[in-house]
């Protein structure tokens, strides 16, 4: 018998890697079907305008072109994509149609779909579809909220489409009691996840059985199935959404996009399988963007650095439409603004407005990355002006174990606040200071050494995870003792098959080699699932496996009781789930049931878990070029319980690299006419393997979560949350002699150089 906990907590090698390394992964572009056709999307080249005409004659005349679908082919009513999370009634007016009919609102919006015998023919035909658009003035930023600005939606009186507020305590009293108040403005730029693999789909229509299969659904396949079935006027059970291997998700892959309707629509219309895979230019212009927000934030403190209140306003540019998760980043920004600190009073009002840019959604730690950047910069600014040590100011305000459960701000109009579940937040701060050798390196701050200024930055954070309300698992045990696992959570490259196999093997007390397969996400294997988002997969899906494992063992015991005619206490499951005994009587599993056993389990949870941590960075800045080099980066996080150190380490380091890319390199840049200027990877710079080699990640498990039987907390996003604030603080520290303010991202080489030049010019003036 395998000892319980033989696998959980151990660095089990990733099960899925073997097929990937052997080239046996099944990505969407690997799928081939007999008679398959190929799609290419005709996209608007104009950011804002009225469609006068669409001429498809030249495309239809090309050999191999089977159809060109426009809004006219969809009938009188164009389906729209509903908001999935944190909806408001006002957002119903600005949801995205699956294809543009009368008006386009961003460069890249679908206006037609070409179906052809090959991808090359489809692309060539798409290039000759003539779309006549009467251009209108473009709205690209907050100026679009001013009176007289062009309206994206004439039915709306303003480009402001929604708002929300985070509230806690008596904010007016907090500022009256403060001995120090400081207001500052911050800006986080628009950037995006940029997974290795772009989006793609294969849709197949079974006309005989009136069934649709959509391969390529990611992150939330059950949501995709429900939305698609409604749009196509099919019962949900007539649609299968099938997960394939994917080359990264990071939040961007898990929405419902126009193509998720258009490709199945084409497959049913032509009664042929249809494949579509976007190219990188399409991905950059049309797949979800994220992060663009401005914030005016004010802090109230006592003179000893005790924080009494935070208040302010934020403006979130959500792009041309409210996509399914458009509100989530703003909700998180508001609620997570105080982070891990004891801040009695909070008031943040967030305005969501539309613009002629690609719609936004979630990207790893949506809203939390932005909130941490603003808050951690403001704490550094306040500490400097108060003459306090910035580490000590953080230490003084961190929430303690004795104060937990500690309520978060309430977010209106949604209600409900949530609360931290467990932890002693100073633990990660102290460990991080030791690991980076803060005491010694502090002497380098602001020093010019070999032509480069050195600086340190630090930041603390919390990571909310385990979004409910439930998750499901199903286990099948065959007569030979092999177990197949089905879960509703989805795999987006995070090593889910390995971790779930570890959990199942320990729960059933069998060797991990007896886990035949782990099937995830797809709607074919389980009756209901909720997918992978908000760092929920291990907490919710893993706990559901535990419930299913207990139910499976109980089913075996019940069968043995009936066969042996004994009391339940006499039954023992032995030989690694391959036999049962009752006294001296023994039956193999095959003898007990030729067909094996099956059991399902559901884990319910409506409260979030909260990992917490501290990051620190040592940087150098070349004042001649503006180049920022990461000399050392340390991350310490308490995740409650570590399921697999290897997968956790990979998640953390990968998230940090994404954060560094977003802070120092990346940016979606638009001109005043709404044209994307960074539409290729030659212009949109992402990190390479050699860019940030000095990253150290340390995981702790000091405070398991009391909210689930595994004691785990979500840990897939924590690595990225504090990066922007930490690096900005480090660069500001390095350039302190020049009084350079790093309150806007990105801190690209060109921008840092300009900040230095501006600071020098101000000193000369």
Dist CA 71 CA 265 (whole Å): 12
Q: Which CATH number fits domain 429-455+610-765: 1.20.1440.230, 3.20.20.150, 3.40.640.10, 3.30.365.10?
A: 3.30.365.10
Strand ranges in 622-713 using DSSP code E only, listed in sequence order: 628-638, 695-700
Dist CA 342 CA 403 (whole Å): 9
630 phi, psi to nearest 5 deg: -85, 110
Q: Report residue 468's pLDDT band, with 50, 70 and 90 as the boundaries.
A: confident
Angle ∠(223,224,229) on CA atoms, nearest 5: 100
pLDDT at residue 1, as a whole number? 39
CATH number, span 17-26+467-604: 3.30.365.10
Q: Report residue 765's pLDDT band, with 50, 70 and 90 as the boundaries.
A: confident
pLDDT at residue 107, as a whole number? 98
pLDDT digits (tens, 9 = 90+) for 17-67: 989 999 999 999 999 999 999 999 999 999 999 999 999 999 999 999 999
Q: What is the mean pLDDT of residues 689-701?
A: 95
Residue for token pair 């059933």:
508
pLDDT at residue 763, as a whole number? 85
**Is there a common fold for 17-26+467-604 and 429-455+610-765?**
yes
Choose between 160 and 762: higher pLDDT: 160
Strands 307-317 and 345-353: parallel
pLDDT digits (tens, 9 = 90+) for 504-559: 999 999 999 999 999 998 998 899 998 888 889 999 999 999 999 999 999 999 99
pLDDT at residue 5, as a whole number? 65
To the nearest whole number, what is the mean pLDDT of the chain? 96
DSSP bridge pairs for 316 = 293, 352
pLDDT digits (tens, 9 = 90+) for 223-234: 999 999 999 999
pLDDT at residue 613, as a whole number? 98
Q: Helix and strand tally (H, E) in the chain?
A: 18, 30
486 phi, psi to nearest 5 deg: -120, 130
pLDDT at residue 559, as a whole number? 95
Q: Is 50 left (phi over 0), alpha (psi -120 to 50) or beta?
A: beta
pLDDT digits (tens, 9 = 90+) for 108-132: 999 999 999 999 999 999 999 999 9
Q: What is the mean pLDDT of residues 303-327?
A: 97
All structural domains of the chain with their residue ranges: 17-26+467-604, 429-455+610-765
Q: What is the mean pLDDT of residues 280-292?
A: 97
Dist CA 187 CA 189 (whole Å): 6
Is the separation of the CB atoms in 416 and 599 below 8 Å?
A: no
Residue for token pair 């286990």:
475
Q: What is the mean pLDDT of residues 182-200?
A: 97
Dist CA 40 CA 128 (whole Å): 12
Dist CA 471 CA 486 (whole Å): 11
Is the separation of the CB atoms in 224 and 217 below 8 Å?
A: yes
């Amino acid at each position: 018998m395998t000892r319980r906990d033989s696998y959980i907590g151990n660095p089990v090698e990733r099960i899925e890697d073997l097929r990937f390394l052997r080239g046996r992964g099944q990505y969407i572009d690997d799928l081939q079907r007999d008679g398959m056709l190929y799609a290419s999307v005709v996209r608007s080249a104009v950011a804002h305008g009225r469609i006068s005409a669409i001429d498809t004659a030249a495309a239809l005349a090309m050999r191999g072109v089977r159809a060109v679908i426009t809004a006219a082919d969809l009938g009188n009513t164009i389906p729209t994509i509903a908001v999935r999370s944190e909806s408001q009634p006002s957002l119903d007016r600005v949801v995205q149609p699956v294809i543009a009919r009368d008006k386009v609102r961003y460069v890249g919006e679908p206006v037609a779909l070409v179906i052809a015998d090959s991808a090359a023919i489809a692309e060539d035909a798409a290039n000759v579809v003539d779309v006549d658009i009467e251009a209108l003035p473009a709205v690209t930023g907050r100026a679009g909220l001013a009176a007289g600005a062009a309206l994206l939606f004439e039915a709306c009186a303003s480009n402001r489409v929604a708002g929300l507020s985070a509230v806690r305590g008596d904010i007016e009293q907090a500022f009256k009691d403060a001995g120090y108040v400081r207001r500052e403005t911050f800006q986080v730029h628009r950037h995006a996840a940029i997974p290795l693999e772009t989006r793609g789909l294969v849709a197949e229509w079974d006309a005989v059985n009136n069934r649709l299969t959509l391969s390529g659904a990611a992150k939330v396949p059950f949501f995709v199935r429900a939305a698609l079935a409604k749009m196509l006027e099919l019962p949900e059970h007539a649609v299968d959404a099938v997960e394939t291997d994917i080359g990264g998700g990071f939040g961007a892959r898990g929405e419902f996009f126009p193509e998720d309707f258009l490709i199945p629509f084409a497959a049913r219309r032509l009664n042929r399988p249809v494949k579509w895979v976007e190219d990188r230019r399409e991905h950059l212009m049309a797949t979800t963007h994220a992060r663009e927000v401005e914030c005016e934030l004010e802090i109230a403190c006592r003179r000893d650095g005790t924080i009494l209140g935070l208040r302010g306003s934020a403006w979130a540019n959500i792009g041309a439409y409210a996509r399914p998760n458009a509100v989530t980043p703003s909700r998180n920004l508001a609620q997570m603004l105080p982070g891990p600190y004891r801040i009695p009073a909070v008031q943040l009002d967030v305005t969501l407005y539309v613009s002629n840019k690609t719609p936004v959604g979630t990207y790893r730690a949506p809203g939390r990355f932005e909130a941490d950047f603003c808050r951690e910069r403001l704490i550094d600014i306040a500490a400097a002006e108060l003459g306090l040590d910035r580490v000590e100011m953080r230490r003084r305000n961190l929430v303690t174990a004795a104060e937990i459960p500690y309520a978060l701000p309430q977010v209106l109009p949604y209600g409900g606040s949530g609360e931290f579940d467990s932890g002693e937040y100073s633990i990660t701060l102290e460990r991080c200071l030791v690991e980076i050798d803060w005491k010694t390196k502090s002497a380098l701050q602001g020093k010019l050494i070999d032509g480069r200024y050195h600086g340190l930055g630090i930041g603390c954070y919390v990571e909310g995870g385990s979004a409910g309300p439930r998750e499901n698992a199903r286990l099948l045990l065959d007569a030979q003792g092999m177990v197949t696992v089905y879960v509703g959570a989805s795999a987006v490259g995070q090593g889910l098959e390995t971790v779930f196999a570890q959990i199942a093997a320990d729960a059933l007390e069998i060797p991990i080699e007896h886990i035949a397969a782990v099937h995830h996400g797809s709607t074919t294997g389980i009756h209901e699932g909720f997918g992978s988002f908000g760092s929920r997969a291990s907490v919710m899906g893993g706990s559901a496996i535990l419930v299913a494992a207990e139910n499976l063992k109980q089913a075996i015991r019940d069968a043995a009781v009936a066969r042996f005619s004994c009391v339940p206490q006499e039954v023992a499951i032995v030989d690694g789930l391959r036999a049962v005994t009752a006294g001296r009587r023994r039956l193999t599993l095959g003898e007990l049931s030729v067909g094996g056993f099956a059991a399902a389990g559901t884990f319910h949870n409506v409260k979030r878990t909260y990992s917490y941590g501290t990051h620190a960075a040592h940087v150098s800045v070349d004042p001649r070029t503006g180049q920022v080099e990461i000399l050392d980066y340390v991350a310490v996080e308490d995740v409650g319980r570590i399921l697999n150190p290897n997968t956790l380490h990979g998640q953390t380091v990968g998230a940090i690299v994404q954060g560094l890319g977003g802070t120092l390199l990346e940016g979606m840049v638009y001109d005043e006419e709404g044209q994307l200027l960074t539409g290729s990877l030659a212009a949109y710079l992402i990190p390479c393997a050699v860019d940030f080699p000095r990253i150290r990640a340390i995981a702790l498990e000091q405070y398991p979560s009391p909210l689930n039987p595994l004691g785990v907390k979500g840990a897939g996003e924590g690595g990225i949350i504090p990066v922007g604030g930490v690096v900005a603080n480090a660069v500001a520290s390095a350039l302190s002699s020049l009084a350079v303010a790093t309150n806007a991202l990105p801190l690209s080489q060109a921008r840092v150089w300009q900040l230095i030049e501006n600071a020098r010019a101000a000193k000369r003036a």
